[in-house]
């Protein structure tokens, strides 16, 4: 009786996997059949699950801090127009974003050495956006847990960013797998 139930459960699972695979569009199926009768591993389904797990892991907070958020521009009194972390981006052209391999186009922030260069942070501030803001640490010059958001001009920083207290999540500490 137990064998019949186990066989039935396996059969139902296989049917569900086949139905899911057959309803997917633009996905190539790769199946490997093993020695056991009626057992098929659907590699496409497994790969999609791994991608889903990796994406959710990418958004999981590794640490959370509270600090002040301020804004700065390339032409601030102590700024030289290049960022303090490698790659030493030249930001004199008004660049305020960075194309990160894992997180896409993100904002640029300065932090203290508490956060390694290349760290990715996520915060919510209505002064910046209605949505969550993702940023990468590419500059130095602030103390403690503060973040200084790179903006187009000092006037913009004063008018729109100011100084406010935020809580932010660290999603990646340092460059991770990037060079």
Would you state the pLDDT for residue 26? 47
Would you state the pLDDT for residue 78? 65
Distance between CA 81 and CA 92 in Å, rounded? 5
pTM: 0.67
CB-CB contact of 166 with 71 (8 Å) = no
Structure tokens at 105: 């186009």
> Which residues have CB under 8 Å from 120's CB, separation 6+?
100, 102, 103, 106, 134, 135, 136, 137, 170, 171, 172
Domain ranges in the chain? 2-58, 63-172
Q: Which CATH number fits domain 63-172: 2.60.40.2480, 3.40.50.300, 2.40.40.10, 1.10.1040.50?
A: 2.40.40.10
Write the DSSP symbol of residue 14. Answer: H
Query: How many CA atoms lie within 13 Å of 155's alpha carbon, on the beta-carbon side?
Result: 0
- How confident is the prediction along the chain (179 residues), in pLDDT tens digits per residue? 655 555 556 655 666 565 555 554 444 444 555 555 555 556 655 555 555 555 568 899 999 999 999 999 887 766 777 788 876 777 888 889 999 999 999 999 999 999 999 999 999 999 999 999 999 999 998 999 999 999 998 899 999 999 999 999 999 999 875 44
Look at residues 111, 103, 102, 49 and name the one whose alpha carbon lies nearest to residue 83. 111
């Amino acid at each position: 009786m137990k064998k019949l139930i186990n066989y039935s459960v396996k059969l139902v699972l296989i049917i569900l996997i086949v139905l899911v695979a057959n309803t997917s569009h633009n996905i190539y199926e790769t199946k490997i059949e093993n020695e056991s009768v009626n057992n098929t591993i659907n590699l496409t389904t497994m790969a999609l699950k791994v991608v889903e797990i990796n994406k959710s892991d990418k958004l999981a907070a590794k640490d959370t801090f509270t600090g002040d958020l301020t804004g700065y521009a390339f032409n601030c009194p102590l700024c030289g127009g290049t960022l303090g972390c490698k790659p030493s981006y030249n930001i004199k052209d008004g660049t305020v974003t960075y194309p990160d391999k894992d997180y896409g186009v993100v904002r640029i922030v300065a932090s203290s050495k508490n956060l390694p260069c290349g760290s990715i942070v996520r915060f919510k501030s209505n002064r910046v956006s209605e949505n969550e803001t993702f940023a990468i640490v590419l500059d130095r010059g602030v103390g403690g847990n503060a973040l200084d958001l790179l903006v187009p001009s000092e006037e913009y920083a004063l008018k729109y960013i100011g100084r406010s207290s935020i809580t932010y999540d660290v999603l990646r500490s340092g460059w991770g797998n990037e060079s």
